[in-house]
Amino acid sequence: MKPFRGLYGMVDVPPSGGGVPAGRLARALLDGGARIMQLRMKGATAAALAAVCDELRPLCRARDVLFIVNDRLDVALAGGADGVHLGQDDLPLAAAKRVAPAGFAIGVSTHNEAQARAAAEGGADYIAFGPCFPTSSKVDPDPVVGLAALRAICALPLPVVAIGGITLDTVGDVVRAGAYAAAIIRAVNSAPDVAAAARAVTSAFATDSPSR
């Protein structure tokens, strides 16, 4: 899997449309230095998700950025994505690996040490771990794990993406805890200047060093 240290861009858009169009948001995140991009459309039909996938895939290809589809392995494969990101209630990692082609990246969201170790031992290409801080981007968020738990998980032998409630003021904390990347929705996507906010995250990973 290509390196993607820094901002894990999240194109988090409602399936009904509204808000910033997916393509415009993706371009701003790419302009800000995102090296990996996830399309996240909770509750969208496969058809709606595939249509946006077709829009974002060439944008990521043009920048040599990894393109990931959230939850839906079928859409990720059919849409020519570089990988899929699975939650704890999605298709199990072992089942996804049986049908994924060589070189196809599989990430897994984890929320405690047992889940993180299981994903690492099961062959995930990277894991997301959190929430590191209280978050409002999920309806029923998992308990906050905190920076000490993040630091411990970052000792695992695979990239760890910090998730949950991270802001431009706290991104340096997750970098120093050892995170390989940070997925940030509200503080970046809702900023007055999305590209500038994305660049701030990119800069934090370039200037701060992990503690381990």
Q: Which of these is catalytic: 2, 61, 138, 212? A: 138
If phi > 0 it is left, if psi is from -120 to 50 it is alpha, else beta; for residue 71 that is: left
Q: Which of these is catalytic: 40, 57, 72, 151? A: 40
The total of other beta-carbon atoms located within 10 Å of residue 210's CB is 14
Q: Which of these is catalytic: 57, 72, 109, 151? A: 109
Q: Which helix (H) or strand (E) holds 107?
A: strand 105-110
Q: Is 136 a catalytic residue?
A: no
148: CB partners within 8 A, 6+ apart: none
d(Cα 157, Cα 104) in Å, to the nearest integer? 19
Does the bond joining 131 to the residue before it have cis omega, within 30 degrees of 0? Answer: yes
Q: What is the DSSP secondary structure assignment for residue 98, as one 8-state letter? A: H
Instruction: Return the structure tokens found at 76.
Output: 């990720």
Q: Is 40 a catalytic residue?
A: yes
Catalytic residues: 40, 109, 138
